[in-house]
Amino acid sequence: EKGGFSSFMDKEIHDQPHAVADTLLGRTDPSGKLVLDDLRIDEAVLRSVDKIIVVACGTAAYSGHVAKYAIEHWCRIPVEVELAHEFRYRDPIVDEKTLVVAVTQSGETMDTLMAVRHAREQGAKVISIVNTHGSTIPRESDAVLYTHAGPEIAVASTKAFLSQITAAYLLGLYLAQLRGNKFPDEISAILEDLRDMPRKIQTVIERGEYVRATARSMKDAKSVLFLGRHVGFPVALEGALKLKELAYIHAEGFAAGELKHGPIALIDEGQPVFVVVPSPKGREGLHSKVISNIQEIRARGARTLVIAEDGDDAVRPYADEIFWIPESATLLSPLLAVVPLQIFAMALATAKGLDVDQPRNLAKSVTVE
């Protein structure tokens, strides 16, 4: 059932191009218009939404954090991302014009379920983005958008994360279409780019041996830091989470801009730091800011492990290792940039002789509060 792979996690990483492609499948009509058939919420209600709150835990919450950048950009609706267990106890401001989006692989996470119930009691509409059919959260939501990643067996989430981002992007584009925030041809162009992502994800996976070799050389690392900006920030958080849960190494993700506000004090000789570098062709100033961050930490002795876009020669002078990813629109880049981080965590854990499918103390679905 592992299909010749050494672990379910390895198989699921290799499933990712399919997970994304299948999540995109059948979402447009013959004219190219985005149709989300399972989204049974009145269009007038969706047009009147004035705030979106994503509720989720762990990796699913990071997918929401990525989606926030895209949905706000495309729809001009404010998006908050809140850990489901914090949401409930905060007395959140939620009403009929709030759309709550619950993201969950298992569909059973108790904290997320309680957040869904709380939101509906306040009159909000809830759409859940769920991977597991027949689970509880979709039954308690107003509508569901299924991710089609297939069953995820390994405790650490990989392909579900990519398909959650994909589904949340579909939702964002659908809302933009419905509310007239984007021209139909702009939406088609983004969908076209999304449909090209599975091929690029496959390329990143095929480049995995260099990542694995680097991970094997780092099996005695005591702490690894991860930096990113914009959509690279939640990618950094996810990279750190994967490393903690699989390799039991202290790992922390930061927004690169926070460095000088504290975390840079952690940098000393040989400290490994992953840096997710945005596309040089993306938003003005973003790329050069991250390059300066790499310079700053390198000057203080950090060992820099850089994820950069093919052809980005500006990173070369400051990178100890470079993991190249294909070119993509900035908003789509998390689907590529996270893959080397997943492979790194898996390979480092394997080098330490750990069980990557079943890390200690963790359960696949957390059905207690």
Any contact of residue 136 with ligand F6R (CB under 6 A)? no
Q: Is residue 364 annotated as a catalytic residue, yes or no?
A: yes
Contact residue for ligand F6R among 70, 81, 126, 156 (CB under 6 A): 156
Question: Which parts of 220-259 interact with ligand F6R (CB under 6 A)?
Answer: 241, 245
Our finding on whether 110 is near ligand F6R (CB under 6 A) is: no
Return the residue of 19, 21, 24, 57 that touches ligand F6R, per CB under 6 A. 57
Single-letter amino acid code for the residue at 7: S
Q: Count the neighbouring beta carbons within 10 Å of the beta carbon of residue 207.
A: 16
∠ CA 105-158-59 to the nearest 5 degrees? 60
Q: How is residue 154 annotated by DSSP?
A: S
Shortest Å, Cβ 107 to ligand F6R: 7
Size of the site for ligand F6R (CB under 6 A): 15
Question: Closest separation between CB of residue 83 and ligand F6R, Å?
Answer: 10
**60 contacts 160 by C-beta, under 8 angstroms:** yes
Give yes or no for residue 172 binding ligand F6R (CB under 6 A): no
Candidates 16, 109, 177, 214; binder of ligand F6R (CB under 6 A) is: 109
Among residues 7, 157, 214, 333, the one that binds ligand F6R under rule CB under 6 A: 157
7 lies in the site for ligand F6R, by CB under 6 A: no
Minimum CB separation of residue 106 from ligand F6R in Å reads 3
State whether residue 167 is helix, strand or coil: helix
Find the distance separating the first CA and the last CA of the chain, reported in whole Å: 32
Kindly state whether residue 112 participates in binding ligand F6R, applying the rule CB under 6 A.
Answer: yes
Q: Does 166 bind ligand F6R (CB under 6 A)?
A: no
DSSP run (H or E) holding 252: strand 250-255
- Please, which residue, 147 or 330, has the CB nearer to ligand F6R? 147
d(CA 357, CA 354): 9
Q: Within 10 A of 321 (CB to CB), how many other CB atoms are there?
A: 18
In the complex, which residue's CB is closest to ligand F6R? 58
Q: Does 60 bind ligand F6R (CB under 6 A)?
A: yes
Question: Does residue 278 come out as left (phi exceeding 0), alpha (psi in the -120 to 50 range) or beta?
Answer: beta
Nearer to ligand F6R, 288 or 367 (CB): 367
Q: Does 59 bind ligand F6R (CB under 6 A)?
A: yes
The SS3 of residue 326 is coil
Q: Which class for 72: exposed (0-12), middle (13-18), buried (19 or more C-beta within 10 A)?
A: middle
Distance CA(197)–CA(159), nearest Å, equals 13
Q: Which residues are catalytic?
A: 364
Q: Under the rule (CB under 6 A), what is the footprint of ligand F6R?
A: 57-60, 104-106, 109, 112, 156-157, 241, 245, 365-366
